[in-house]
Every structure is written in C-alpha cells, then in structure tokens.
Amino acid sequence: MTRRAEILVVAVLVNEAGEVQAVVENFGKDTANVRLLTDFTVPAYKTARLNVLTGSRSVKLTGLSLPKPADAQLHEIALEEAFGSRSKRPTGPILAKGVAKLTR
C-alpha cells in the first residue's frame, strides 16, 4: 500500500481584480503542486515564475530546495525575463499572488 502525502499549506493566488488564477499545495519535503486555473499570456522572451516555476502550465515540483511550508507565506507568479531574476525576487509585473494557510 502507498500512503498519500498530506498537504501542509495551501495558497490561493489571485490577480489584481481578485480573480483566482492558481492554487499552490505544499506537501513539505521539497514537494509542491502548482495548479494554474487560467491561461497566462507569456511573450516568447519572458517566463511566468513562481520561485522555480517556469512556463505557463500546472506542475508538480519535487526534489528542489523549496522553502519550508509556513502559515502566511507569500506566493507570487511574476512575469520575468527568460533567464529569471538574479535577486530571486520578482522584478517584472506580478500576475497573481496570495498567502499560504496551514491546513486543518
């Protein structure tokens, strides 16, 4: 039997109009799901980034050095240059953002 991993925190990301754009589920142990609920228009020389998220599709992140899940942790999807942000902080416009909540 396999045991299903529990979600530790969930973040609902919204745009400036308050419309839900994505959901982040963080399982801890460097595993998270990013579910995009809308299509982002991303020019060829740009990328939509959520820390390590690249492109514009839903992904499961594993084996990366993700931040430890925490309550009220900020998550943002920003439009960045294709090579990313050298500062590891958003430099382009923020497409969606939200804060994580611990699951009960």
Q: What are the extents of the domains in the chain?
A: 9-102
Per-residue model confidence (pLDDT) at position 59: 79
CA nearest to 9, candidates 75, 63, 58, 61: 75
Paired with 34 in beta bridges are 24, 59
Per-residue model confidence (pLDDT) at position 15: 95
> Which position has the higher pLDDT, 75 or 44?
75
Residues 71 and 75: their CA atoms lie apart, in Å, by 11
Each residue's pLDDT tens digit, 1-47: 555 679 999 999 999 999 999 999 999 888 899 999 998 888 877 87
pLDDT higher than threshold 70 for residue 60: yes
Mean pLDDT of 75-87: 78
Q: Copy the structure tokens of residue 82.
A: 């294709």
CA nearest to 40, candidates 12, 15, 74: 15
Residues 89 and 31: their CA atoms lie apart, in Å, by 21
